[in-house]
Structure 1
């Protein structure tokens, strides 16, 4: 078995699903003693090329980020469309959704994790890269997000 199948063991992000990004981002800002970051919408499906369970999806979310040293906290308020975010909110409520790793070789890493019983559930693009959510809930009890940034 590979010692580091992703090529890294550095967790770069923790994603938290929320119902009210304004309220929760203010609570984190107060707790951390920083300014509340502005939130923004993820891109629409025509730009993000979002896929959920293998099909195009119009799902979007409001995002807000807190940089906390080497680790980034991402707050996610999903819209009403089917997505890993919406499913999580409906099934579990608010809380920690994923940990993220910056990787190289997205297709290969997806295949590797799928071979380990962690299927791809959602993927898309963002300005400067792409992401994939792998369902690692059976073994790791949370989602794994793969982030591949353009060079």
Structure 2
């Protein structure tokens, strides 16, 4: 088996599953000065394609995105549905959930992961302005101690639902 190239370019994102998204964002901003935070709710119809363990499904989560230097931070609050976040909360409580890895071609990346014995546990696609954007979580926790998320970022992002702190006019 050839080594997977996913970590060769480094980690682009670290993600935390949190109990209260708004309170956690305020804490990051007030304690560490991290912000601004862009809020989105990932659910249908914004995310047009969703699967869990290979089967079509529907779920929702609220996310807030910001940067700590060049590292993107993603905070995730489980809303509803059978998700990797809900499973993580049941098994571990709240905390660091996954490392995000950027890929150029999601289908090639998933095929490489599957060839190495890793399955996609949950994915979503179509959340970009042009219907692009795709994320896929791999079942890597037993092998490396955490989950890897493959991310093919959209060319354009939708307008955030809100920004914290609010931008001044």
> Do they fold alike, i.e. is TM over 0.5?
yes
1:92-147 Cα distance to aligned partner (Å, 9 max, x none): 11011110111122112112112222211111112141111011111111111111
Gapped regions of structure 2 (runs ≥ 5)? 156-169
**Tell me, what secondary structure is at the counterpart of 1:122?**
strand
Q: CA offsets, 1:9-60, max 9 Å, x none?
A: 3210001001110111111112221446252211315743111111122111
The corresponding residue for 1:130 is: 134
Partner SS, residue 74 of structure 2: strand
TM-score, normalised with respect to structure 2: 0.80
**Superposed counterparts of 1:1-150, under 5 Å:** 1-2=1-2, 5-6=5-6, 8-35=8-35, 37-44=37-44, 47-125=47-125, 126-127=127-128, 128-150=132-154
List structure 1 runs of 4+ shifted beyond 6 angstroms. none
Any unmatched runs of 5+ in structure 1? none
Question: When the two structures are aligned, how many residues end up with a matched partner?
Answer: 151
- Cα distance 1:114–1:4, how it changes in 2: closer, same or farther (>3 A)? closer
